[in-house]
Amino acid sequence: MQIEAVRGDITTQDVDAVVNAANSSLLGGGGVDGAIHAAAGPRLLEACREVRRTTYPDGLPVGDAVVTPGFDLPARWVVHTVGPNWNRGQRETADLASCFTRSLERAVEVGAASIAFPAVSAGAYGWDADEVARIGVAAARAWQGSTERPDEDGHTHPSGIALVRFVLFSAPLLDAFERALGAPHR
């Protein structure tokens, strides 16, 4: 499995699934959430309302994830996850790690082989970019290690996801993820 970080717009990524840093209502918001809803079109909001009506009437819990179609996005799927809000005292690193792990699990369930993540909780939710990067990259690597299976020749192959791409909208966020990945600093 390849893990990379790029600067860009998550709504334009040519991947099977994009992750939405959603709020628990799933009904849109600002930042990444608003951008994904705007780019996916009004059917995304309809799908999220249906998820709320049928599966999560009280809202999606922090650290969990749910999938909807991508509609007008290049990505086939949107994986919505609710990060912990540092500003509201939600400071458990395990909850943040769960956002990444549950999103990967949900993506595999729908057959995605590539996924793009934003810096979940690093924006309006107030988490430090370096902490989000460290946790996100560690979660992806741990998940990769837990899903790789050796073949008869001893070579390992990941089951499901072939590409995890962290798509960051600013240079400071990209720098944080490059540090976490151990990439050469620009």
pLDDT at 70: 98
pLDDT at 147: 65
pLDDT in tens, 108-149: 999 999 999 999 999 899 999 999 999 999 999 998 877 655
d(CA 61, CA 89): 15
Longest CA span, the chain: 50
pLDDT at 171: 96
Q: Average pLDDT, stretch 156-183?
A: 88
Phi-psi region of 28 (alpha: psi -120 to 50; beta: other; left: phi over 0): left
Residue in this structure with the two tokens 């741990």, named with its chain if needed: 142
Who wins on pLDDT, 150 or 101? Answer: 101
pLDDT in tens, 9-35: 999 999 999 999 999 999 998 999 999
Q: Is residue 51 pLDDT above 70, yes or no? A: yes
Q: Is residue 63 pLDDT above 80, yes or no? A: yes
> Which of 9, 14, 33, 72 is an active site residue?
33
pLDDT at 157: 45
Q: Which residues contact 3 (CB under 8 A, 6 or more apart)?
A: 137, 140, 141, 144, 163, 164, 165, 166, 181
Residue 159: band (very low, low, confident or very high) from pLDDT cuts 50, 70, 90: low
pLDDT at 155: 52
- Give the tokens for residue 154: 């001893």
Q: What value does the mean pLDDT of the chain take?
A: 92
> In DSSP terms, which residues pair with 114 in a beta bridge?
163
- Provide the percentage of residues in the chain whose pLDDT is more than 90: 84
pLDDT at 160: 82
User: CB atoms < 10 A from the CB of 179, how many?
Assistant: 16
pLDDT in tens, 36-45: 999 999 999 9
The domain made up of 2-181 has a fold known as: Leucine Aminopeptidase, subunit E; domain 1 (3.40.220)
| Cut 0.95: pTM above it | no
Q: Is 33 a catalytic residue?
A: yes
